[in-house]
Amino acid sequence: MFGLIGHLTNLSHAQRVARDLGYDEYASHDLEFWCMAPPQAVDEITITSVTGQVIHGQYVESCFLPEMLAQGRFKTAMRKILNAMALVQKRGIDITALGGFSSIIFENFSLDKLLNVRDITLDIQRFTTGNTHTAYILCQQVEQGAVRYGIDPAKATVAVVGATGDIGSAVCRWLTDRAGIHELLLVARDAERLDRLQQELGTGRILPVEEALPKADIVVWVASMNQGMAIDPAGLRTPCLLIDGGYPKNMAGTLQRPGIHILDGGMVEHSLDIDWQIMSFLNVPNPARQFFACFAESMLLEFEGLHFNFSWGRNHITVEKMAQIGSLSKKHGFRPLLEPSQRSGELVHG
Amino acid sequence: MNRTAPSSAALDYRSDTYRDAYSRINAIVLEGEREAHANYLTLAEMLPDHAEALKKLAAMENRHFKGFQSCARNLEVTPDDPFARAYFEQLDGNFQQAAAEGDLTTCMVIQALIIECFAIAAYNVYIPVADAFARKVTEGVVKDEYTHLNFGQQWLKERFVTVREGIERANAQNLPIVWRMLNAVEADTEVLQMDKEAIVEDFMIAYGEALGDIGFSMRDVMKMSARGLASAPRQ
Ligand SMILES: NC(=O)C1=CN([C@@H]2O[C@H](COP(=O)(O)OP(=O)(O)OC[C@H]3O[C@@H](n4cnc5c(N)ncnc54)[C@H](OP(=O)(O)O)[C@@H]3O)[C@@H](O)[C@H]2O)C=CC1
Ligand SMILES: [Fe+2]
Ligand SMILES: [Fe+2]
């Protein structure tokens, strides 16, 4: 069985979901309540591969909310993730994806030193960050999205916001190594890590975000922001392809301007309907088929019986591993989501 | 960017502030163990078929009591017994009343589920911030408490259909008392560097698991274990 550990994007989102599910206690109370709430296995999942294989999984809501980080409640955030991990391990789940911020919290707060949770010791082999598949899918969205929206990759300047992150650095490696783009712009805050990345890649121009955006034909957003930033579409090129892979999203609100195209980054579309309920709470046009690439990685590992931490740590994702997970992704029927995001106000056809 | 969580300021177990808070917290722990001992003996009378097993649990609680007494002596603390007795009055009153009425289900819920989970949560949160002596004692105690929880769980599970409503009622009546009790000692637990939030979460994990095993659905568990949580007044 596979597992998915996830969280919602902010308190009001969490309250809305709780209300929709009929949990009044959770729906009408403030952050304090979520700070005390234990993880819950709230959904059972059945997914069929195009190969015909059928697997089962569980979704565990960690009750983590990004406001906990914004308010400096680090111990709370750490507890949510550790308790969610303990829950899936106790249930004997073989491989679980740490979705969204869960892997970031694990990494930033060195949870590998805190694996003793009450009466169990967490086994990291039972978990994956899901970042290899996410990075792969983002790169497919760049390459295929460019073609779809009339951007010639060979002439394209691509900005990666969050370039030094686990996913961001992997995207940079692939774009440098495998995609024939014109120029790569590296955007993040820490200068030292940017320098190291630039050295490793042997290419890439370091720029702050406000300077990178007007120069970019394609922007891959994959920074770990507690909340999105406001972007003025007037300052962007046209055509411009914005691929927002942040969770919560890196770009706040909707952006409407002819020639601006937005994709929900790091999302896949399956070839078959999936039996679950959780995705109907996230703003995707077709929740039966569209979902996060990091979750998909856990499913791929389960399909293939690869029960180990395929994606782990930060900055270890290689182009080879991305190609490997990419071929498994295609094998089982996943495709990068290329439909315009609802954030763009573009009409979604059919 | 690697950011470690703010490390706990070094705890001075000998400071007046710490020992003052400890005099109340330790007293509460002692009172809890003392009442648990008495409650299991009461349950042994109510359930003669299980008397052997229940008397063993009572004996374990007595050992816990002595263990925690030595923790107080180790820190040269005198537990505040009157405070602790008053602290447990309402919860204990409900147990005694249920026992007098022969209401086994309520007795089981109060002692074998609620009090055990409360103890498990508090001890789990205490262990990482306890002095070395108390840590060893508490680690041993927690192991026992899990078996106590298991006893009540099994008993209720075997009779789920008949006792279901009784569990719901006992839960509704007594869980809010636990939240109030936790709020009442928040200042003292903070001195001991025990996070109230963490205690509640740990409680809900143990309690939720037990309720789920007994036969309640996930939806029921979520509703039951959160009962009265948000309305408990905060300091
Ligand atoms: N769609 C999906 O399936 C998935 C999405 N995600 C999302 O992807 C994002 C990144 O995840 P991951 O790679 O694991 O995270 P990491 O922590 O490894 O990397 C985050 C990166 O963002 C940078 N960053 C943070 N804040 C800013 C800012 N304000 N401006 C510019 N750069 C910033 C960091 O560098 P610096 O601190 O130097 O600025 C770092 O390079 C998260 O939002 C996460 O939720 C994660 C997994 C799956
Ligand atoms: Fe005890
Ligand atoms: Fe006990």
- Condensed to tens digits (0 to 9), the pLDDT of residues A247-257 reads 999 999 888 89
- Condensed to tens digits (0 to 9), the pLDDT of residues B41-83 reads 999 999 999 999 999 999 999 999 999 999 999 999 999 999 9
Q: Residue B87, SS3?
A: helix
Report the 10 Å Cβ neighbour count for A317.
27
Residues 6+ apart with CB under 8 A from B90: B177
With CB atoms and an 8 Å threshold, state whether A75 touches B200: no
B33 annotated as a binding-site residue: yes
With CB atoms and an 8 Å threshold, state whether B223 touches A23: yes
pLDDT for A313: 96
* pLDDT over 80 (residue B178): yes
Q: Distance, CA B36 to ligand 3 centroid (Å)?
A: 6
With CB atoms and an 8 Å threshold, state whether A119 touches B146: yes
Q: Provide mean pLDDT across the span B211-219.
A: 95
B64 annotated as a binding-site residue: yes
pLDDT for A342: 86
What gap in Å lies between CA A291 and CA A269, rounded to an integer? 7
**Average pLDDT value over all residues in chain B:** 93
With CB atoms and an 8 Å threshold, state whether B5 touches A107: no
pTM greater than 0.90: yes
Q: Provide mean pLDDT across the span A82-103.
A: 97
What gap in Å lies between CA A266 and CA A276, rounded to an integer? 19
* pLDDT over 80 (residue B9): no
Alpha-carbon distance A109 to nearest alpha carbon in chain B (angstroms): 5
CA of residue A220 relative to chain centroid, distance: 12
**Owner of token pair 């996930």:** B218
pLDDT for B8: 53
Number of H helices, E strands in chain B: 10, 0
How far is CA A29 from each of CA B113, B181, B186, rounded to the nearest angstrom?
A: 26, 20, 20
pLDDT for B232: 47
Is ipTM over 0.90? Answer: yes
Q: Distance, CA B222 to ligand 2 centroid (Å)?
A: 26
What gap in Å lies between CA A40 and CA B204, rounded to an integer? 11
Q: Provide mean pLDDT across the span A138-148.
A: 97
* pLDDT over 80 (residue A114): yes
Using a CB–CB cutoff of 8 Å, tell me whether A79 touches chain B. yes
Q: What is the DSSP string of A2-67?
A: EEEEE--SSHHHHHHHHHHHT-HHHHS--HHHHHHPPPEEEEEEEEE-TTS-EEEEEEEE----TH
**Owner of token pair 């899936």:** A88
How far is CA A159 from each of CA A67, A183, A213, A242, A279, rounded to the nearest angstrom?
A: 27, 8, 7, 10, 29
**Which chain A residues have a beta carbon less than 8 Å from that of B201?**
35-38, 79, 83
How far is CA B160 from each of CA A98, A220, A342, B168, B215, rounded to the nearest angstrom?
A: 35, 54, 48, 11, 7
Closest CA in chain B for residue A73: B5
Encoded tokens for A243: 């691929």
**Which chain B residues have a beta carbon less than 8 Å from that of A87?**
205
Using a CB–CB cutoff of 8 Å, tell me whether A107 touches chain B. yes
pLDDT for A115: 97
Q: How confident is the model at residue A285 (pLDDT cuts 50, 70, 90)?
A: confident
CATH of domain B16-231: 1.20.1260.10
Alpha-carbon distance A186 to nearest alpha carbon in chain B (angstroms): 16
List residues of B whose CB lies inside 8 A of any A CB. Answer: 1-6, 124, 146, 195, 197-198, 200-202, 204-205, 208, 218-219, 222-223, 225-227, 229-230, 234
pLDDT for A28: 83
What gap in Å lies between CA B126 and CA B114, rounded to an integer? 18
Contact A247, A9 (CB under 8 A): yes
With CB atoms and an 8 Å threshold, state whether B2 touches A108: yes
Q: How confident is the model at residue B231 (pLDDT cuts 50, 70, 90)?
A: low
**Average pLDDT value over all residues in chain A:** 95
Q: Which of B222, B227, B231, B235 to mutate to test the interface with A (most CBs of A within 10 A)?
A: B222
* pLDDT over 70 (residue A217): yes
Using a CB–CB cutoff of 8 Å, tell me whether A33 touches chain B. yes
* pLDDT over 80 (residue A25): no
Q: Provide mean pLDDT across the span A197-220.
A: 98
* pLDDT over 50 (residue A280): yes
Q: Which of A25, A71, A116, A277 to mutate to test the interface with B (most CBs of B within 10 A)?
A: A25
How far is CA A50 from each of CA A44, A54, A202, A302, rounded to the nearest angstrom?
A: 20, 9, 40, 14
Contact A213, A232 (CB under 8 A): no
* pLDDT over 50 (residue A162): yes
Q: Provide mean pLDDT across the span B29-40.
A: 96
Report the 10 Å Cβ neighbour count for A73.
17
C-alpha torsion angle, residues A154, A158, A163, A165 (rounded to 10): -80
pLDDT for B10: 79
Domains of chain A listed by start with CATH number:
2-131+269-336 (no CATH), 137-266 (3.40.50.720)
Q: How confident is the model at residue A350 (pLDDT cuts 50, 70, 90)?
A: very low
CB of B161 closer than 6 A to ligand 1?
Answer: no
Q: Distance, CA B37 to ligand 3 centroid (Å)?
A: 8
Instruction: Name the closest ligand to CA B123.
Output: 2
With CB atoms and an 8 Å threshold, state whether B6 touches A74: yes
- Condensed to tens digits (0 to 9), the pLDDT of residues A295-308 reads 999 999 999 999 99
- Condensed to tens digits (0 to 9), the pLDDT of residues B87-138 reads 999 999 999 999 999 999 999 999 999 999 999 999 999 999 999 999 999 9
B76 annotated as a binding-site residue: no
CB of A310 closer than 6 A to ligand 1?
Answer: no
Q: Which atom of ligand 1 is nearest to the CA of A223?
A: 22
Looking at residue A255, what DSSP letter applies? -
With CB atoms and an 8 Å threshold, state whether A38 touches B204: yes
CB of A329 closer than 6 A to ligand 1?
Answer: no
CB of A311 closer than 6 A to ligand 1?
Answer: no
